[in-house]
Amino acid sequence: MHKVVSATTNPAKIKAILQAFNEIFGEGSCHIDAVSVESGVPEQPLGNEETRAGARNRVENARLVRPDADFWVAIEAGIDEGSTFSWVVIETREQRGEARSATLPLPAVILERVRAGDALGPVMSHYTGIDEIGRKEGAIGVFTAGKLTRSSVYHQAVILALSPFHNAVYR
């Protein structure tokens, strides 16, 4: 059984990680240990590089907290060019896999508040009345009428970031 350390305690992110690992390595093939670690970037990362750095920093910090794992996984959500997206970083002792998620264009009224310094989660909670929306369906669930959720979009990116770990051609 793989010991997987999730560099977040966010249920939407943990669900995506667990589902992806079960699909790639088999149902019940992993145990997830969720830890809360710092990203080293602002609460609302802006831009591709800052968001990716946040995910990489979370993996590094998770490795320091739980050094005995088989995999360390981080998902960092950010805003880039008017859209929300995330970076997924997965590491073992030997290698790293990274993938960027799909992007969701955000409405101008939401972007105004984010550009003024508010994080997307609280802005969306205010807009929708859904408490802690970032731990649930997220902006993605709201703006896709539930066809996609924060977790479902993260799931795809985790599957992509896992590619180097089960395909020999990457080694």
Binding-site entries for Mg(2+): 38, 68
Strand partners, 3: 31
Rounding to the nearest 10 degrees, give the CA dihedral for residues 132, 133, 135, 140. -170
Q: What is the DSSP string of 43-55?
A: SS-BSHHHHHHHH
Q: In this structure, which amino acid lies at residue 27?
A: E
The annotation places the binding site for substrate at: 8-13, 68-69
How far apart are alpha carbons 133 and 139 in whole angstroms? 8
HEC string of 105-161?
A: ECCHHHHHHHHCCCCHHHHHHHHHCCCCHHHCCHHHHHHCCCCCCHHHHHHHHHHHH
Rg (CA), the chain: 16
The annotation places the binding site at: 8-13, 38, 68-69
